[in-house]
Amino acid sequence: MRLLTTLTGAVALAMALLTFPVSAETPEELFEIHCAACHNSGGIGNPGLAPPLNRPAFWQALGDKAPEYIAGVVTSGMAGKLEIQGQMYIGLIMPPVASTTDEELVEIGTWVLQTLGETDGVLTQELLDTARETRPTHADLRAMRPAVD
Ligand code: HEC
């Protein structure tokens, strides 16, 4: 009887693991958890602290480079002087994102590119791997940025 109970429990657990999605959060919820403390809810930015990310003109001007750029920023972090929409960002350093799995990072990055950036860009695992190998410096990343707010 005891064995049966254990077996039933094990089967129930296995079924629960199979039916639950890898991550229960939507990409937007993942952004709120991992990015919004600095970039604010919906990526609207915190003036002087962390820039807004809901800037379609910027992401569209980056074009094909947009997924590579966001891969570089989330793996290398970002620091230095940025002037965006008349606001200077210089004090706060963005550390490399370490609180997520790569699967979650891919979801967040793609959500930023598509929903906030209004592009059809996709952040892939391959781009994260390449960015970790090439380790772009903050100066390299700044050099990729178009002169568009
Ligand atoms: C600890 C605060 C903090 C967190 C958390 C954070 N960022 Fe940042 N982020 C910043 C700061 C500050 C900058 C600007 C750095 C500078 O001035 O060079 C920045 C810059 C960026 C940029 C470059 C914007 C541009 O105009 O070039 C992107 C893209 C970005 N962050 C995405 C993200 C994403 C996606 C997440 C969540 C996975 C995230 N950030 C989490 C603080 C943060």
Options 1.10.760.10, 1.10.10.10, 3.40.50.300, 3.40.50.720; CATH of 26-144: 1.10.760.10
The residue extents of the domains of the chain are: 26-144
* Residue 14 and residue 27 in contact, taking contact as beta carbons nearer than 8 Å: no
Question: What tens digit of pLDDT does each residue of 35-50 get?
Answer: 999 999 999 999 999 9
Which residues lie with the beta carbon below 6 Å from any ligand 1 atom?
34-35, 37-39, 50-51, 53, 70, 73-74, 78-80, 82, 84, 89, 92, 94, 97, 108, 112, 145
R_g of the chain computed on alpha carbons? 19
Supply the pTM of this predicted model: 0.88
Q: Which residues contact 79 (CB under 8 A, 6 or more apart)?
A: 93, 94, 138
Distance CA 40, CA 49 (A): 10
Give, for all 149 residues of the chain, the pLDDT tens digit. 565 555 555 555 555 555 555 568 999 999 999 999 999 999 999 999 999 999 999 999 999 999 999 999 999 999 999 999 999 999 899 999 999 999 999 999 999 999 999 999 999 999 999 999 999 999 999 999 999 98
